[in-house]
Amino acid sequence: MKRLLVHTEKLEFKIQNFLPHKADQVPNSKSTPRTPDRQDKPLRRTIFSSAVGIDITTSSSSALLIVLLCPASISPSPPRPPSSRGLDLSLCTAPRARDPARSSSVAAAAMENLISLVNKLQRACTALGDHGDESALPTLWDSLPAIAVVGGQSSGKSSVLESVVGKDFLPRGSGIVTRRPLVLQLHRIDGDREYAEFMHLPRKRFTDFSLVRKEIADETDRETGRSKQISSVPIHLSIYSPNVVNLTLIDLPGLTKVAVEGQPDSIVHDIENMVRSFIEKVVCCANQDLATSDAIKISREVDPKGERTFGVLTKIDLMDKGTDAVDILEGRSYRLQQQWVGVVNRSQQDINKNVDMIAARRREREYFSTTPEYKHLAPRMGSEHLAKMLSKHLESVIKSRIPGLQSLITKTIAELETELNRLGKPIATDAGGKLYTIMEICRMFDGIYKEHLEGVRPGGEKIQHVFDNQFPVAIKRLQFDKQLAMENRSAEASVDAVHSILKELVHKAINETHELKQFPTLRVEVGNAAFESLDRMRDESKKNTLKLVDMECSYLTVDFFRKLPQDVEKGGNPSHSIFDRYNDSYLRRIGTTVLAYVNMVCSTLRNSIPKSIVYCQVREAKRSLLDHFFTELGAREIKQLSKLLDEDPAVMERRTNLAKRLELYRSAQAEIDAVAWSK
């Protein structure tokens, strides 16, 4: 007998190993004889945990296997006080049954519904692109309880899975055989017929499980090519049989130490990262091979009390005569809060001879029931008991996570809908739909622009400031001779000032029209069309404004000139020359009169020019800012319309991904709501 001493930073423990001195001896003569091809097989020590490790081989014939069942990332709901009907978070598939047999059948049906529910959600995740990988999208996959099976390359985990299923269906060979995650969903059915279905072949049933093995290999090659690359996109396989329990397992690529020919140097880290991405999610139940003390350390960090760890000891039948694993199976060597399970796997010779799995299970049961050391443990030994134990635990985990999962789904749906609304609707494919989309977006822009002019939104008040302050002050500051000149520029300056404000409001309206952000080309076109319209309105406004000035210049009120001779007749000396009459006081009198007249004209212009500007620019901008653009749109072909709606590719991809993810969450919500839960 030897002991394997495993050290970690905070943990030192010993695992007993029972080393056979004679390879062909077994502890009990009634046990299955050892086949020659297994005589020199080294020990494979495996631990099912959330750590990543590598196979450790010794000369022993037993292997240590631990199953770590991690809780979902959603916190379980706090216990509720019993309701008036005495129900607490149970499936309302039937009233409380008084008959124990009926109660048992109802509970069994409820548990089947639970695992079936998670199976449907997992399949929906894969179909809609949610593989649990890191992305900018919310993931439902990571919130679904599951059991991930991880082991070192060629560590024999295929034998464990096939023992649970009862069928030979997994690809075998040297090197990395499993190169994509395999989501294995087991469904217990009535009847004798056994068959398998792949999600990517929904209408095809496989009754020959050798073809299942071939399809797994072929589907792997379709995704990764015939190279030895790996992919995180899972394959979904459902097996229906009366000989299985309702259970879901995820088989992951085996861990390896070195890259082989045809593989990149990063393959070791790539596989390790993929494994970690599955088993580090606390929602996962991770099955991991023990290889190094680092694996023990990580598993202890995840489950330091061993509350969620299930230990499995394999190859017990190969131990030396006089040795046994009772101390381990009874939890004295390595204590766990869950029970240890011993498993007897098929030999390679049995596999080569296609020994029936039912016969292998029967031999396993016989071994434990007839071996004196394990006879008292026989009811909880074997792969059948392991499968039932894992299924029961998975069911209880799923049941405790459903309320939190419902809350997560509801919250995520609201977030996805909000972002989709922000990104806008997808683009129509026909010309009429495209034209309608463009017109609607332009109307939204036009409406926002009008709100700025009408004072609903800020910015329009600047126009009033031009008329109330800038224009009157500019007129007052003009020199007298310029007020009389045709080259008067104050009116034109007011037109330009209003034009600048209107253009500024166009920029604001474009930025505030959320739909225009979706289409950069249309955004530019709308802006250019608006600016061209404002330029035309500015030119027309200048013409009208200058006409008003021309009107005042072309007609003078000369009553005071007519009065001048009359005044002379009344008070002047007719014998004096006409030039003698225009003395300084008389000229000052004329100047005062002319100035009064000029002020009267300026006052008139202060009122008429703003009216003209508002009429020609502000009013027209509100009425027909995009009229010319609309006229041109009607004559454009579908290619030109498509160019206007040439959306940012990143936005298009984001919207498509969000729509798929929203479809997934709504589907999940419908599936969960289809099962009535008591609150």
In tens, the pLDDT along 381-415 reads 988 888 888 888 888 888 888 888 888 889 989 99
- Check whether 166 has a pLDDT greater than 50: yes
Distance CA 439, CA 507 (A): 19
Q: Report all structural domains of the chain as residue ranges with CATH numbers, in order of start.
A: 2-76+122-419+669-673 (3.40.50.300), 428-646 (1.20.120.1240)
For residue 74, what pLDDT is reported?
33
**Closest among 221, 222, 250, 249 to 234, alpha carbons compared:** 250
Distance CA 328, CA 342 (A): 9
**Closest among 110, 178, 119 to 145, alpha carbons compared:** 119
568 against 262, higher pLDDT: 262
- The average confidence (pLDDT) of the chain is 71
Of the ranges 278-287, 410-419, 503-512, which one carries the lowest mean pLDDT score?
A: 278-287
558 against 517, higher pLDDT: 517
For residue 579, what pLDDT is reported?
54
For residue 10, what pLDDT is reported?
30
For residue 444, what pLDDT is reported?
93
**Can you state the angle between helices 357-370 and 383-423, rounded to 10 degrees?**
130
- Check whether 11 has a pLDDT greater than 70: no
For residue 414, what pLDDT is reported?
92
Q: 21 — phi, psi (to 5°)?
A: -90, -25
- Residue pair 639/411 in contact by the 8 Å Cβ criterion: no
Q: Work out the pLDDT band at 165, boundaries 50, 70, 90.
A: confident
- Check whether 611 has a pLDDT greater than 80: yes
172 against 204, higher pLDDT: 204
- Residue pair 541/495 in contact by the 8 Å Cβ criterion: yes
The string over 518-555, giving b where at least 16 C-beta atoms fall within 10 Å of a residue's C-beta and e elsewhere, is bbeebbebbbebbbebbeebbebbbebbbebbeebeee
Distances (CA, A) of 95 to 85, 92, 99, 109, 363: 9, 7, 11, 13, 42
Distance CA 233, CA 639 (A): 37
Distance CA 136, CA 127 (A): 18
Q: Which of 20-34, 102-116, 173-187, 485-499 has the highest mean pLDDT?
A: 173-187
Of the ranges 111-115, 169-173, 221-225, which one carries the lowest mean pLDDT score?
A: 111-115
Q: Which residue has the tokens 């790539």?
A: 270
- Check whether 212 has a pLDDT greater than 90: yes
> What percentage of the chain carries pLDDT values higher than 90?
10
Mean pLDDT computed over 199-225: 89
Q: Work out the pLDDT band at 4, boundaries 50, 70, 90.
A: very low
- Check whether 623 has a pLDDT greater than 80: yes
Mean pLDDT computed over 90-107: 40
For residue 290, what pLDDT is reported?
35
- Check whether 349 has a pLDDT greater than 60: yes
Tell me the pTM: 0.55
Of the ranges 272-281, 546-555, 570-579, 608-617, which one carries the lowest mean pLDDT score?
A: 570-579
- Residue pair 427/651 in contact by the 8 Å Cβ criterion: no
For residue 578, what pLDDT is reported?
53
For residue 142, what pLDDT is reported?
72
For residue 641, what pLDDT is reported?
83
Distances (CA, A) of 442 to 12, 22, 49, 523, 527: 72, 88, 59, 9, 10
Q: What is the pLDDT of residues 433-492, one digit of tens each?
A: 888 888 999 999 999 999 988 888 887 777 777 776 666 666 655 555 544 454 456 778
Q: Which of 12-26, 50-64, 203-217, 292-306 has the highest mean pLDDT?
A: 203-217
230 against 348, higher pLDDT: 230
631 against 475, higher pLDDT: 631
Mean pLDDT computed over 212-219: 91
- Check whether 536 has a pLDDT greater than 90: yes
463 against 303, higher pLDDT: 463
Q: Which residue has the tokens 């049941």?
A: 399
SS3 5: strand
For residue 503, what pLDDT is reported?
92
666 against 2, higher pLDDT: 666
572 against 24, higher pLDDT: 572
For residue 353, what pLDDT is reported?
76
Residues 6+ apart with CB under 8 A from 61: 18, 19, 20, 23, 41, 43, 315, 318, 319, 320
At 589, list the tokens: 């009198």
For residue 602, what pLDDT is reported?
76
Cα three-residue angle 201-203-207, rounded to 5 degrees = 85
Of the ranges 218-227, 251-260, 301-310, 355-364, which one carries the lowest mean pLDDT score?
A: 301-310
Q: Which of 286-300, 376-390, 553-567 has the highest mean pLDDT?
A: 376-390
120 against 309, higher pLDDT: 120
198 against 300, higher pLDDT: 198
For residue 471, what pLDDT is reported?
66
Q: Work out the pLDDT band at 580, boundaries 50, 70, 90.
A: low
SS3 203: strand
Alpha carbon 439 to its chain centroid, in Å, reads: 32
